[in-house]
Structure 1
Amino acid sequence: MSDVSTATPAGVGSEVPMRAAVMQMAIGATLLSSTSLFVVYAHTAPTVSGFYRMLFGGSMLLVWVALRGVWRRFSWRDLAWAVLPAIGLAVDLIQWHRSILWIGPGIATLLTNFQVFLMALVGFAFYRERPGRGFVPGMLLATVGLWLLVGAHWSIFDAQHRLGVWLGLGSGVAYTVYLLSFRQALKTHTRLSPAQFLGLMSLLCAVVLWLWGWGEGDSFALHGIQSWSVLLALGFIGQVLAWLLMVSAMPRLPASLVGLLLLLQPTLAFVLDVILLGRPTSLGDWTGLVLALAGILFGALQPRRRVSQA
């Protein structure tokens, strides 16, 4: 990702595109923060909501690609390289949606964002990417924040709530698999555009989720306008609109600013959880949230040399 501050000349001409990119990134992250609430309001089984998010979102993406006239024919190679990210994302949604329903959208979304640290460790182990100086202190800060949010109350949680915490962390592991395999496929293994490959991968993910739900005995029949409208919005906002806004903005912003704006997602998810769903929140919870977010931000920051080369 290029650093806009060095790629464009200073002055009004560079500030306007920068402001537009910041606005796009902020809107995209804000839209993403609402997707966890849709899972609650859909009134369906967690796997079912994930299935329809992928089915509706993937279909909309492919229609959008076709309407733009940039459609490429799928090959067996494209399908093969979409399988692993599809499985990774399916496992992520299976865990994350349960975590949302059992411990609330705010904490569940925050736990998933701990994938930042796992991504850095994988990058160091397999790609020799040196973590930034803020990685270790960031991980310590995030751990302290997480303890304030869930560890301090662990003894009073019931078994389902405790499992929801572990599933939230597990969804971050699965999300890491999805991100790494998706990135690798786009870099070297497919000629499809990112939007078309994401649409293909989303539909394969829907198949995996359908098989999982079928094995659990879930019903995929939707009853009532609320379920249909919420799940259509989930697919459009979470899988199409937010993604298109963020992907178009990311190359025009410094990586540090991207990381900061992405933190709008867990922050707003937590705030919406408190306001709309009445989550009981103490001063210790707010302190834990701030520390966890600060730790995630520090862990996401990269050395300037790596940012300019990416």
Structure 2
Amino acid sequence: MPEASTAAACADAGHDLPGRAAIVQMAIGAALLSSTSLFVVYAHAAPTVSAFYRMLFGGAILLAWVAMSGGWQRIGWRDAWLAALPAAGFSADLIQWHRSILWVGPGIATLLTNLQVFLMALVGFAFLRERPARGFLPGMLLAMIGLWLLVGAHWSMFDARHRSGVWLGLGSGVAYTVYLLSFRHALKTHAYLPPAQFLGLMSLLSAGLLWLWGQGEGDSFALHGWRSWSALIALGFFGQVLAWLLMVRAMPRLPASLVGLLLLLQPALAFVLDVVLLGRPTGYGDWSGLILALAGILFGALRPRRRAATA
């Protein structure tokens, strides 16, 4: 850090402390999200089964936390109806994403899902009259080049399952966009529940949809061994509860550009953990592709300062 910046930081240390705490909370939340894909691998369960237990455990913990904190509100049919579309979107996201994790690895699967940044911007432009950020087009170009280096350059070498995993990762981004838009719309315009309680309700509805999907696939939801139990409880607690609570408290205290940068810790750390813990073979082209894709996602997520403050 330059000396001038250091001096300014020291002078404003008392004022900047809450901001620093928010940065730490946001970074920890994003790091916890990056670990969720590893828990899917370690659970040794069918993709829909691990998704079901994530939502079941996470939703139950969230609702219990709201009740114990004294913020419980009566849940009506209107609330359940409003949570139905986000639950369907998130269920479709997890059904595809968990398969992509197992078929192409946690790192690539998480990166593919995060390309929803561009789809969100296109939906906002087409239906909500929101102008894309200035970096949208160059960001999309960078992301596409990075994605080609990661998967396109080796496409002919992949088997059918790996190729399907890539498409499912992209499909999970589409479903995640549906979840984000419908969840935000419900909270902003109609839902009267506290956000944590609404998320808990949505999670349990999603668990019900995932159970029905798993029954159609013929999956067994019986868990055997402490490893599966511990991995899935951790998946629900860290991915659906703790990470969300940390990030939701930190986001209002940070500029949108910094939030976007810190959120990139999720796919970046997921890729690194995939290489370090699961032994993913990675060359210079893969690392270059990762950097370009992350840079593209960041540029696509940035907003002008005035518009970000308004949002």
In 2, Cα distance between equivalents of 1:298 and 1:219: 43
In 2, Cα distance between equivalents of 1:145 and 1:194: 35
In 1, Cα distance between equivalents of 2:248 and 2:71: 17
Check whether the contact 2:112–2:170 (CA below 8 A) recurs between aligned residues.
yes
- How do 1:1-310 and structure 2 match up within 5 A? 11-310=12-311
In 1, Cα distance between equivalents of 2:153 and 2:164: 16
Deviations 1:241-294 (A, max 9, x none): 000000000000000000000000000000000000000001000000000000
In 1, Cα distance between equivalents of 2:252 and 2:292: 28
In 2, Cα distance between equivalents of 1:243 and 1:309: 22
In 2, Cα distance between equivalents of 1:110 and 1:117: 13
| Superposed displacement of residue 14, structure 1 | 2.5
| Pairwise CA RMSD | 0.7
| Superposed displacement of residue 168, structure 1 | 0.2
In structure 2, what residue type is equivalent to 1:287?
A: S
Check whether the contact 1:42–1:227 (CA below 8 A) recurs between aligned residues.
yes
In 1, Cα distance between equivalents of 2:305 and 2:261: 16
| Superposed displacement of residue 11, structure 1 | 2.3
In 2, Cα distance between equivalents of 1:179 and 1:32: 16
**Sequence identity, in percent?**
79
Check whether the contact 1:40–1:101 (CA below 8 A) recurs between aligned residues.
yes
In 2, Cα distance between equivalents of 1:124 and 1:309: 17
In 1, Cα distance between equivalents of 2:193 and 2:308: 25
Moved beyond 6 Å, runs of 4+: none
Check whether the contact 2:255–2:309 (CA below 8 A) recurs between aligned residues.
no
| Superposed displacement of residue 308, structure 1 | 1.6
Aligned pairs, number: 301
| Superposed displacement of residue 306, structure 1 | 1.4
Check whether the contact 1:21–1:250 (CA below 8 A) recurs between aligned residues.
yes
Taking structure 1 as the reference length, what is the TM-score of the superposition?
0.96
Check whether the contact 1:131–1:303 (CA below 8 A) recurs between aligned residues.
no
In 1, Cα distance between equivalents of 2:69 and 2:310: 31
